[in-house]
C-alpha cells in the first residue's frame, strides 16, 4: 500500500509551546519534504530530506527544524511556536529528488497556534 501518513491531523497549541509533526511513508522513498499551505500562497517548501540525516533548507525554514533518523520517518519540529505558524502542513515523499517523479502527499496536519 503506497501511503504517506501524517500525525496528528489536527493540533491546537499555545504560543511558545513546542510542536512535533510526524510523517511516515511505506514506499522506501529516498526523498521527503515538508510544505506548508496558506491561502493565496500555495504550497511553500520548508525542508527537504534526501535521505537519513541528509536534510536541506527549503524556501521558508526559519522557525522550523527537521529530523530524519529512519528513511520512512520525517519529523517537523517547531520550537516555541508562533501564531504566524498557524497553517496546514503537508508531508510528501518521492522516489528520489533527482528522478523528477511525482510527489506523494499525506493528508496534512492543521495546526492552530493560539
Partner 1 sequence: GDSVTQTEGLVTVTEGLPVKLNCTYQTTYLTIAFFWYVQYLNEAPQVLLKSSTDNKRTEHQGFHATLHKSSSSFHLQKSSAQLSDSALYYCALSDPSNDNAPRFGAGTKLSVKP
Residues forming the site for partner 1 (CB under 8 A)? 4, 33, 35, 40-45, 48, 56, 58-59, 90, 97-98, 100, 102-103, 105-108
User: Residue 58 CA to chain centroid, in angstroms?
Assistant: 11
Q: How far is the CB of 96 from partner 1 (least distance, A)?
A: 9
| 16 three-class SS | coil
Of 21 and 81, nearer to partner 1 (C-beta) is 21
- Minimum CB–partner distance for residue 18 and partner 1 (Å): 26
**CB-nearer residue toward partner 1: 33 or 113:** 33
**Dihedral, 20, 24, 41, 113 alpha carbons, nearest 10:** -20
Give the whole-angstrom CA distance, residue 73 versus residue 21.
11
**Minimum Å distance from CB 70 to partner 1?**
21
* Cis peptide preceding 39, ω within 30 of 0: no
Closer residue to partner 1, CB minimum distance, 81 or 91: 91
Amino acid at each position: 500500500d503506497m501511503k504517506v501518513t501524517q500525525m496528528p491531523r489536527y493540533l491546537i497549541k499555545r504560543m511558545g509551546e513546542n510542536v512535533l509533526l510526524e510523517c511516515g511513508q511505506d514506499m522506501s522513498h529516498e526523498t521527503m519534504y515538508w510544505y506548508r499551505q496558506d491561502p493565496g500562497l500555495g504550497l511553500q517548501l520548508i525542508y527537504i530530506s534526501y535521505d537519513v540525516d541528509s536534510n536541506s533548507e527549503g524556501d521558508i525554514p526559519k522557525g522550523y527544524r527537521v529530523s530524519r533518523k529512519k528513511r520512512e520517518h520525517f519529523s517537523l519540529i517547531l520550537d516555541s511556536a508562533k501564531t504566524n505558524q498557524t497553517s496546514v502542513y503537508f508531508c510528501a515523499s518521492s522516489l528520489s529528488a533527482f528522478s523528477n517523479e511525482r510527489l506523494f502527499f499525506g493528508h496534512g496536519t492543521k495546526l492552530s497556534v493560539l
